[in-house]
Amino acid sequence: MSKDYGQFCGLARAAQVLGERWALMIVRDLTVSARRFTDLHEGLPGIPTTVLTTRLRELEESAVITRRAAPSPARGVLYELTPRGRDLQPILDALGRWGAEAMASPRESEVVTDSSLASALRSAHRPGGLAGPLTYHVRSGAASAWATTRGDEVTVGPGEPSSDPDLTIDAGPELRLLLAGTLTPEEALASGGIAIAGARRLLEEFTRSFRVPLSAPAP
Amino acid sequence: MSKDYGQFCGLARAAQVLGERWALMIVRDLTVSARRFTDLHEGLPGIPTTVLTTRLRELEESAVITRRAAPSPARGVLYELTPRGRDLQPILDALGRWGAEAMASPRESEVVTDSSLASALRSAHRPGGLAGPLTYHVRSGAASAWATTRGDEVTVGPGEPSSDPDLTIDAGPELRLLLAGTLTPEEALASGGIAIAGARRLLEEFTRSFRVPLSAPAP
DNA sequence: CCGAATCCGGCATGATACTG
DNA sequence: CAGTATCATGCCGGATTCGG
């Protein structure tokens, strides 16, 4: 609904734009990379095209995203965040960590998408790791994403990394427990819930660089 | 809707609870102080009682709030944040600042409530002021709230401060511009948009301690 | 007074089909 | 590829009523 809350309040203004159904998911996908309409539609299972159209228009009116022609080889329209939209990234990362604290294992019928995996890695990253650069390629279920750490910074993206990764991680739902520290790298490998291609030492570095605590069991 | 997004993602889980209509407003009011049903209903103009009832139940199921019997003199039920709900406070403050950046002046029919004013002060506070403690009483429109700074910390509340404030500020919509730094204390007082009771020096301290930049003109 | 439950009109959402 | 068209469902907003 484009109805407001009748309050002169920053949070009310934010909620008017971001509180609409699917709006946060769309912005999250765009914090990971610019996307076309069809990319977004495929990356957000269940969203009706009508709703996607409406949200994109509203987010554009609110100066959170812009649309421009896709660069040369591709055709069509590319949606991307404006500077104002990019300001949301650390806030959504924090909100995602908050939500992830009570999220131990996937519910029936919950999937992992490229963008959700990439944004999870970004929000899980903490400084203090090896100087790098180090590139991790993570796959979980049908999703694939990569993360490159360089000093205290991290860059993430959907799909395959453009250059050969230093470590490839193939994981099931155990990835969540690995990020929580509930499961050690040794246990994860031994149980078969996680398989790697690359130096085993780098998996330990991965668990130091990416962490999301887990406070409650899965609801 | 209690429909989820079908994604194993922290942000999706957060959006399922907080993305519902009025949910963020309810939590915001509860970050300021514990409230009864009727308090919330009066502090959120336009919310239907059915929606308030439903949201309170959902937020309770998600362990964001709890309900308990109101303390002795009062009767009824008191809703308050759980520790997990309190974790949301800095995130909502950041989201409120983001929304406030594009909010220069109230739209037609937008009001200020006690809780929105109190939370605005909290999210506007920045460290580095006088050691204090200093208590400000701020009124704008029909809303009233207070803030006490003590070292680098701030405490806010709705209504009147329990002890005599060091400075009382009566403001119109110009308060937003004062917080943005667009309007100096001198200009605000001279234009009559703001009146104070207390030392004028403290108004300058107030503008140093509470600030929310303004990036775009009012949409 | 407090904390809702009930009834109802309208509109957003979700699902499917279809088009430039 | 990027949406529009159509329609059933059900949530939301507004008013009223009700038990404690």
How confident is the model over A97-139, as pLDDT tens digits?
999 999 999 998 899 999 999 999 999 999 998 887 999 999 9
Would you call A92 an interface residue with chain B, using a CB distance cutoff of 8 Å?
yes
Confidence (pLDDT) at B217: 55
Query: Does this chain's domain A10-87 share its CATH topology with A109-209?
Result: no
**The two structure tokens encoding residue A138:** 């993570």
Strand partners, A111: B7
Query: Are the C-beta atoms of B210 and B125 separated by less than 8 Å?
Result: yes
- Helices A23-32 and B10-18: crossing angle in degrees, nearest 10, is 150
Query: Are the C-beta atoms of B176 and B215 separated by less than 8 Å?
Result: no
Contacts of B120 (CB under 8 A, 6+ apart): A9, A10, B96, B100, B179, B212
Confidence (pLDDT) at A217: 54
- Which A residues 48-87 have CB within 7 Å of strand D? 48-50, 53, 56, 67, 70, 75-78
- B10-87: what fold? Arc Repressor Mutant, subunit A (1.10.10)
Q: What angle do CA B55, B13, B90 make, to 5 degrees?
A: 75
Low-confidence ranges of chain B (pLDDT < 70): 1-2, 72-73, 216-219
Enumerate the domain spans of chain B.
10-87, 109-209
Contacts of B186 (CB under 8 A, 6+ apart): none
Are the Cβ atoms of A15 and B8 closer than 8 angstroms? no
Confidence (pLDDT) at B218: 44
Would you call B42 an interface residue with chain A, using a CB distance cutoff of 8 Å?
no
CA of B48 to C1' of D17 (A): 15
Would you call A96 an interface residue with chain B, using a CB distance cutoff of 8 Å?
yes
Is A109-209 a domain of CATH 3.40.50.2000? Answer: no
**The two structure tokens encoding residue B141:** 């429109």
Confidence (pLDDT) at B219: 46
The residue whose two tokens read 């949200």 is A55
Characterize B80-100 residue by residue with b for buried, 16 or more Cβ atoms within 10 angstroms of its Cβ, and e for exposed.
ebeebbebbbebbbbbbbbbb
B176-212 pLDDT, tens digit each = 999 999 999 999 999 999 999 999 999 999 999 999 9
What pTM value is reported for the model?
0.94
A24-42 pLDDT, tens digit each = 999 999 999 999 999 999 9
What pLDDT band is residue A2 in, cutting at 50, 70 and 90? Answer: low
- Helices B89-100 and A10-18: crossing angle in degrees, nearest 10, is 90
